[in-house]
Structure 1
Amino acid sequence: MRNENRWELPHSINLAAFCTNRARVRGRSVGWVSNPAAVFAGGLKPTTGMIVLKACRARPCNWWVSIRPQKRRPDSKPTLRNASHLGSEMRTERLPGKLSLTGRMAALPAVLAALWLLMAGSLSAQSTHALIVASASGEEQFKEQFWDWGTRLQRALTDQMHVPKEDVLFLFEDPAKGAPLVFGKSTKSELMRAAEKLDADSKEGDLVFIVLLGHGSSDGNNYKFNLVGPDATAADLEQLLGRFSRQDVVLVAATPSSGGLTRTLAGKNRVIMTATKSELENNQTVFGGYLVEAFENRAGDADKNGRVSMLEAYLYSRKKVEDWYEERQKLATEHPQLDDDGNGRASSVPSAQTGDGLLAGRLSPGSPTETVLAAAPAGNQKELRELQAAKKKVEADLAALRYRKSSMEDMEYQKNLEKLLLELARTDGRIRELEKPR
C-alpha cells in the first residue's frame, strides 16, 4: 500500500496528543496533523487524504490508521459527514498481522471507535469532592491495612485523577500517624464536619465520592459503621447524604454487613456500592482493597479511555473479589452489589436488564472543569462553560445509548452512535480552539 502514512496506536495512547505531534513508527516519521478532530472525521487536507482504519490483531496495537493521499473536488467540504463514504473507497487487502475491513458498515465501527478514542482523553470530568473514612481498627494489623487502603486511594485521586488535594478528605483513627494527610479523626462528629465541608465546597452537578473502609456490623436490622466512640448508623448516613441533593453521590461501604445499605440509602442521583449482599455476611471483606486498586494507575479502565468510571471500578473490584476466594479455594463470604437507579434493589452484575449501572457508568472522579476554564483566555470562558455543559449532556446521552445497546438493533445503535459522536467531535473541536492561549 504505497503512498500511505501508517500509525500504530497502543491501547493506552492519548489519540488527540498522538495526532497533534510528530510520531515515529518503525523508524519512520508519519508527519504532522494539525486538526485531528477534522481528520478523524473524514476531513481532507491538501497534503493528506482520507482516513482508513483497520483492526489490528498484533498487540499492543488496537487500530492502524492510513492517511491515503487523495485529491478532492474544490466544492467538497472537509466536514464530519464525509466519513460516511469511507467503506466504498477502501481497498480489500490482506497484510501480515492485519485484519481488513470492507464495506461501509464494516468501516463505520472503526471510524466511530477512533472518534470515541479521540475525544475520550479530553472528556471533561465533574468537579470531584471525596471523603475517605477508615473505621476504628481494633487490631494493629487492621490499622495498618486501613491506613494503606485510605492513603493509596487518596494518592490515586490526587496524583493520578488530578483531584485537588484540598478536595480529598481523609479521616483516620490516629491522625498523628500522618498529620498532613489526615483531615480529622474517625469519629462521628468529625464525619459530620467533613460532610459539612464537602457540602460547602461542592456545587450543583458535582460528584461527591464517599468511601467507608474497614469494619461494619449489624444486629439484623440496623447497620453500623464502626468509628472511634459512637458508631455511624444507617440513619446517620442517610442524614449525611441528604445534604447532597444537588450533586451526584457515590457511597461505597466496603465493610462487612453492608448489604442492607442499598435499600436504606438508595435514591435519585445516588450510586450505592456495598461489599456484601446482606447484613448476614459479617466476615472481614477484601472489596475495599480492590476498589483502591481499580483507581491506581487506572487499572479498572476497561474501555481504555483514560478514565475509571464508578461502574468500571465496581466491576473490576467484584471480579477481583471472586478471584481472591477462588484462588484460596474458600467459600465466598462477601458478594458486592450496586444500586444506582434508586429503587433499592441492588444488582451483582449491573445491566440494562437489572436497571442498574447507567449512572455509575457515566460518573468518573477527575479534575474539575473550573481548572480548565481558569487556564483559558478570559474572553472565552463564558462560551467554554456553555460548551462544557453541552458536552456533558452528549456524554450522558452516549452513556445511556451504550447502556441500551443490548436491546437495540445494530443498525439503529450504529446510527445513533454516529450522530452523538459527530456532535461530540464538533463540540470538542470548538472547546480545544477556545482553550488555546492567545
Structure 2
Amino acid sequence: MEGTSMIRLSILSLTGILLCGVARSAPNDAETQMVIVVGAGGTDSFEKQFSQVATQLEDVAQTADMVSQTIGASDLQDDKKTIRDRLQEVMVSVKRDGERPLWIVLIGHGTFTRGVAKFNLTGPDVSADELNDWLEPIERPIVLINTSSASAPFINALSKKGRTIVTATQSGNEVNTTRFAEFFAKAIADPKSDLDHDDAISVFESVLAAASQTKQSYQREDRLATEHALIDDNGDGLGTPILKIDESTTDPMKLDGRSARRISISLLDGLKWSEEQLAERAKLESHLEELRQQKADLDEAEYERQLEQILLKIAKLYRSVHEPTSSPQRVPQG
C-alpha cells in the first residue's frame, strides 16, 4: 500500500504541475501564423474600433513571435482584386501540415440570411461554407475566432476534428453588433486570463475571460445581453456556451473546451519547440486522452502505472525543451 500511495502522490504531483504546461504551453517561433481579417465597418466609428482590435492582436502575435497577416480595406489594390480574393489567396497559401496552429480571427459584422452565414467584407462577403472549402486541405490545427454578429452558424459549417471554432453569438438570430472582439483582444494579452499561472494564455482561458467580460458589460449598463459566445472543439458541430462549460453535467470526455485548453500563446515562458517535439507532445497528449477514456475499464494499479509512464515521458520532453542540448554541427562534405 505504501508503494501505491507514493506512486499516486507522484502522479498527482506530475499531473498538477507538468500537465498544465504540456496542455497549454505553445511554441514561440516564426512559423506559427495568425491571420487577422478586418471586415467592413460601415461607419467611421466601427472602422476605427475594428482597426484598434486588429492592432492589439498584431501586438500579441509579435510578442509571441508569431507571423501575422492582417487583411482589410488597406489591401485593396488597383488590380481589381477584392478583400475576399486576398483572403482566399492567404488561406490557400498557408502551410497545410504540422503541429503549429493556424489562428484566424474575424473582426467585424456578420449576417445570417436564408440559411447562409456570411462575414461582411469591403466588397463581396465571404460565407462560412466558402471559408470551409478554403480550409479543407489544411491538416494542421486551426483556431478560428469569429467575433461578428450572427456568427454561430460558422460552427455548423466549419466544425471538424482538429479545429477550435469560437463564435461571439449562440445563433444566427443574434444580429446586433457584438462586443466580444474588444474583450478578446484584451484577454489574450492579459496575465489575469492565465488561470493556471503557467505563463501562457490558452484559447479557452482567453475566450472564457472575453465571454465573462462581455456579459458583465451588459450587466453594468442594466441591458439584456444580445450575444452569447459559443465554442466547438470536439468536432460535433453543435457548440457549447462558453460560460456554461464548467457547469455542465455532460460526460467530460465529450465536452467542448478540452482541445482549447491545450492550444495557447506563450507570452512569458519563451519556450521554443521544434516540429519533432511538437509531434511527440501531440502523440503523448493523445495517449493520455485515450488512457483517461479507458480508466473505468482498468484496474486502479494498472491505470496508475500507465499514467505514470506517460507523465514521465511528458516531463522528459519538457526538460528537453527547457534545457536544449547543443548538437555538433555537420561539416559540409566535399
Shorter-chain TM-score category?
A: 0.7 to 0.9
Match of 1:234 in 2: 128
Gaps of 5+ in 1: 1-83, 89-103, 177-184, 374-383
1:297 and 1:404, CA in 2 relative to 1: closer, same or farther beyond 3 A?
farther
- From 245, 254, 257, the equivalent of 2:150 is 257
**1:363 corresponding residue in structure 2:** 263
C-alpha displacement at 1:345, in angstroms? 0.9
Name the CA shift for 1:335/1:387 in 2 (closer, same or farther; >3 Å).
Answer: closer
2:99 is matched with which residue? Answer: 205
The Cα shift of 1:174 comes to 3.5
Paired residues of 2:179 and 2:214 also in contact (CA < 8 A): yes
**Gap runs ≥5 in structure 2:** 329-334
Distance of 1:283 and 1:190 partners within structure 2: 27
Bigger relative contact order (CA 8 A; separation at least 6) = 2
Q: Does 1:420 align with 2:314?
A: no
> For the Cα contact (< 8 Å) 1:362–1:399, is it kept in 2?
no
Write the distance in 1 (CA, Å) between the matches of 2:321 and 2:83. Answer: 44
Q: State the Cα deviation string for residues 141-190 of structure 1 (Å, max 9, x = none).
A: 1111000101101111111x221xxx2100122459xxxxxxxx971111
Residue equivalent to 2:331: none
SS in 1 for 2:261: helix
Distance of 1:275 and 1:401 partners within structure 2: 34
1:194 maps to 2:98: no
Q: 1:393 aligns with which of 273, 280, 283?
A: 283
User: How many angstroms does 1:278 deviate by?
Assistant: 0.8
Instruction: For 2:285 and 2:73, locate their aligned partners in 1 and report how far apart those are by CA, in whole Å.
Output: 39
Q: Deviations over 1:383-411 (max 9, x none)?
A: x7655532332245457778999xx9999
Which stretch shows the higher mean deviation, 207-216 or 118-127? 118-127
User: Is the contact between residue 347 and residue 354 of structure 1 (CA under 8 Å) also seen in structure 2?
Assistant: no
Contact 2:110/2:150 (<8 A) preserved: yes
* Residue 163 of structure 2 is aligned to residue 270 of structure 1: yes
Give the corresponding residue for 2:53.
149
SS in 1 for 2:201: coil
Please name the residue that 1:281 is paired with: 174
* Residue equivalent to 1:306: 199
344-353 or 315-324: which moved more? 344-353
Q: Tell me by how many angstroms 1:239 deviates.
A: 1.7
Q: 2 CA distance for matches of 1:304 and 1:291?
A: 19
For residue 267 of structure 1, report the CA deviation from its aligned partner. 1.6
Greater Cα radius of gyration, structure 1 or 2: 1
The answer for the alignment partner of 1:133 in structure 2 is 37
Report the Cα distance in structure 1 between the residues aligned to 2:299 and 2:170, rounded to whole angstroms: 34
Equivalent AA in structure 1 for residue 256 of structure 2: D
Deviation for aligned residue 1:114: 4.0
* SS in structure 1 of the partner of residue 104 of structure 2: strand
Identify if the C-alpha distance between structure 1 residues 353 and 115 changes in structure 2 by more than 3 Å, giving closer, same or farther: closer
Shift of residue 300, structure 1, vs aligned partner = 2.4
Indicate the larger mover: 326-335 or 304-313.
304-313
Looking at structure 1, the residues matched to 113 and 87 of structure 2 have their Cα atoms a distance apart, in angstroms, of 22
Deviates more, 1:125-134 or 1:217-226: 125-134
Paired residues, number: 312
Give the 5 Å matches for 1:309-320: 309-320=202-213
Measure, in 1, the Cα distance between the counterparts of 2:224 and 2:99.
41
For 1:404 and 1:295, how far apart are their aligned partners in 2?
A: 34
Distance 2:183 2:300 in 1: 35
2:72 counterpart (167, 172, 186): 172
| Secondary structure at 2:102 match in 1 | strand
Q: How does 1:40-79 map to 2 (within 5 A)?
A: none
The structure-2 alpha-carbon separation of the partners of 1:319 and 1:427, relative to structure 1 and needing over 3 Å to count, comes to same
Task: Assess if the C-alpha contact under 8 Å between 2:26 and 2:264 holds in 1.
Answer: no
